[in-house]
Amino acid sequence: MPQMNLRQLAPGREASIVKITAHGELGRRIRDMGLVPGMSVQVVGRAPLRDPVALRIEGSTIALRNSEADYVDVEVK
């Protein structure tokens, strides 16, 4: 199964989070939102200027900047 970071994930594809590589506040906020290893995630949309990106995780939609999505490693299902 190919691993990549979240920025590269094509819209609509389901993937599972492998690792959060961000530290400090950003890492904390990403985890607080429920983006943790093992969670399945899907890109559901992008803002008109292609950034930020909207994600679907368990029951909610989370928006992340592309630069923040770089810190989330995923594995395509």
Partner 1 sequence: MSCPMCERRGIAGEAALTEEERKNGVRIALAGNPNCGKTTAFNAWTGAHQHVGNYPGVTVEKKEGWTSCGEQKVLLVDLPGTYSLTPYSMEERVVRDVLAPENAAERPRAVIDVIDSATLERGLFLAVQIRELGQGVVLACNMMDEARRAGMTIDLDKLSERFGVKAVPTVARSGEGLDKALALALEEAAKPSEPLIISYGPDVDPALLRMTKIIEEKKLLTSRYPARWTALKLLEGDEVLRAQMESADREAARELDEVRRALASHLASTLETTPDAVISDYRYGFINSALRGGVVRKSSTKDRLAFTDKLDKVLTNTILGPVIMLGVVYFMFWTTFIVGAYPQGWVEDFFGWLGELMTGVLPEGLVQSLVVDGIIGGVGGVLSFVPLILIMFLIVAFLEDSGYMARMAYMLDRVMRAFGLHGSSVMPFIIAGGIAGGCAIPGVMATRTMRSEKERMATMMTLPLMTCGAKIPVFLMLTAAFFADNQAGIMFAITLCGWAVALLVSLFLRKTVFRGASTPFVMELPPYRLPTLRSILTHTWERGWMYIKKAGTVILAISVILWAALTFPALTEEQAAPFEAKIAALDAQITPLDEQIDALKAQLEGADATDAMRDMLASLTQQKEALENTKLDEENALASETVRNTWGGRIGQFVEPLFRPLGFDWRTDVALISGVAAKEAILSTMGTAYSIGETDPDEPDSLSARLAADPGWSKTVALSLMLFVLIYSPCFVTLVVLKNEAGGWRWLFFSMAFNTAVAYLVAWAGTLVGRVLWG
Among 63, 73, 75, 76, binds partner 1 (CB under 8 A): 63
Site string for partner 1, 16-35 (x = CB under 8 A): ----x--xxxxxxxxxxxx-
CB 10 within 8 A of CB 65: no
Find all residues with CB under 8 Å of 19, minimum gap 6, and list them. Answer: 37, 72, 73
Whether 19 contacts 38, CB under 8 Å: no
10 binds partner 1 (CB under 8 A): no
Among 5, 16, 40, 56, binds partner 1 (CB under 8 A): 56
Nearer to partner 1, 2 or 24 (CB): 24
